[in-house]
Amino acid sequence: MAMDKLSQLKSMTTVVADTGDLEAIRRFTPTDATTNPSLILQAAQHESRRARMAELARESTDIDDAVDAVAVEVGSEISELVPGYVSTEVSARLSFDTQATLTRAHSLIERYERRGISRDRILIKVASTWEGIRAAEQLEREGIHTNLTLLFSFAQAQACADAGVTLISPFVGRILDWHKAKEPNADFSGQHDPGVQSVKRIYEHYKGHGYKTVVMGASFRNCGEIEALAGCDRLTISPQLLEELATTEGTLERQLVSLEAETSPPEPLDESEFRWEMNEDAMATEKLAEGIRKFMADQRKLEALLAELRR
């Protein structure tokens, strides 16, 4: 009997749901789930949540407090549906402030722990800026696991591995978007996809040097990108693409194979090297800045909604 591609993918890669939609999580039974400001906004806007959102808003000391309360509320509900990690993001507004990121991360973890949810179940999501990576390094020393997001460059991946972060989320689809805008007639299918190539390079570098950091491909535009990364440690996938995989039969071949570490890790990047490498990578520089702006745009919408509900 032919198997659907989602079932085959689950046999070689840990499947993560990229959503705050509880019904989708129940349906596709992922191991982990990730959220971000855009997904939290979508979840908060559901009419069924409105009364609870208003209650949280009124109980909060200010809008920042309300935003975190909503994120932890959604994350707590998700934690009851998945056996593994739930990712909750620190405000993108703090992407260039290490100390403020640490303070906010501690607050999020304390909120989860007050609900009886262990820090071992939570990944604190932080943008892969130099300042975010430094905050993640400190959090990992404290036993708080991190997910470094908005990752577009090899330099970001190197710095995250140097910092010993638990997991990185290299973006696939947004890299493809940038290249398609530059070369609209090029063939970017399958293994020609520059986002796929980026994740494969990072994966092979990590495995070849024995890094423990988990590689979780993210931001997919189509199932072809997912299939081209079958075998990656983790893949976080939207409900729409999970549905497509679940209803498609055919053989899914493993594309990424974990290698034995052959050499010790290279010397860590210092700040000037990191910033130079980012400066040399126009795509990564542009997409990181754009990603932070987009997350903040949705966070501002959430802040406006909660401010209205506080009245």
Give the residue numbers annotated as catalytic, written as ranges: 125
Which residues, in sequence order, are bridge partners of residue 236? 16
- Bridge partners (DSSP) listed for residue 234: 14, 216
96, HSE (Cβ side, Cα atoms, 13 Å) = 4
Whether 232 and 251 have beta carbons less than 8 Å apart is answered as no
Cβ proximity of 159 and 207 under 8 Å: no
Distance of CA 216 to the CA centre of its chain: 8
Written as six digits, the tokens of 288 are: 């990181």
Nearest to 90 by CA among 55, 121, 129: 129
Per-residue burial over 141-158, b = 16 or more CB atoms within 10 Å of its CB, e = otherwise: eeebbbbbbbbbbbbbbb
